[in-house]
């Protein structure tokens, strides 16, 4: 599955928030899935800043190509909006890495 990782970015330490998504992505890869790590846009933003709304628009567009969403813990208006959109799309929703089964192709 292509799995979108939704979690806090702007609340708290941004570098730690990016790290958290990367660590979750590594676990998804180990299970045979393909992670989509929206927080990697952190580097893009450092070079070419965009508004909060623009980043959310980009994330929502990426979400439309995914099979599932993993919502990591933490307060986040943006991640909650992504979660709500994933529900509308009918994607599989996970709140824990442990709940995600290994890929059948692994």
Would 61 be classed as within a structural domain?
A: yes
Please compute the mean of the pLDDT values over residues 88-105 and round it to a whole number.
95
Share of the chain above pLDDT 70, in %: 99
Report d(CA 106, CA 92) in Å as an integer: 19
* Residue 17 structural domain: 7-42+52-74+90-97
The total of structural domains in the chain comes to: 1
Report d(CA 6, CA 105) in Å as an integer: 24
Would 106 be classed as within a structural domain?
A: no
- Measured at the CA of 76, the angle between CA 70 and CA 82, to 5 degrees, comes to 50
pLDDT at 106 over 70: no
Give pLDDT tens digits for 60-90. 999 999 999 999 999 999 999 999 999 999 9
Q: What is the pLDDT of residue 104?
A: 87
13: CB partners within 8 A, 6+ apart: none
> Does the predicted model carry a pTM greater than 0.75?
yes
33: CB partners within 8 A, 6+ apart: 1, 2, 3, 100, 103
105 band by pLDDT with thresholds 50, 70 and 90: confident
Would 57 be classed as within a structural domain?
A: yes
Would 58 be classed as within a structural domain?
A: yes
What single DSSP character describes residue 40?
A: G
Would 16 be classed as within a structural domain?
A: yes
Would 26 be classed as within a structural domain?
A: yes
pLDDT at 47 over 90: yes
Would 70 be classed as within a structural domain?
A: yes
Report d(CA 65, CA 73) in Å as an integer: 23
Would 79 be classed as within a structural domain?
A: no
């Amino acid at each position: 599955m292509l799995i979108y990782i939704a979690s806090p970015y702007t609340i708290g330490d941004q570098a730690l928030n990016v790290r958290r998504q990367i660590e979750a992505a590594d676990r998804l890869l180990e299970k045979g899935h393909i992670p989509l790590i929206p927080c990697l846009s952190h580097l893009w933003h450092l070079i070419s800043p965009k508004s909060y709304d623009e980043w959310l628009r980009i994330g929502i567009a990426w979400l439309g190509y995914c099979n599932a969403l993993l919502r990591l813990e933490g307060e986040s208006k943006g991640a909650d909006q992504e979660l709500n959109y994933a529900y509308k799309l009918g994607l599989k929703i996970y709140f824990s890495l442990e709940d995600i089964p290994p890929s059948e192709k692994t």
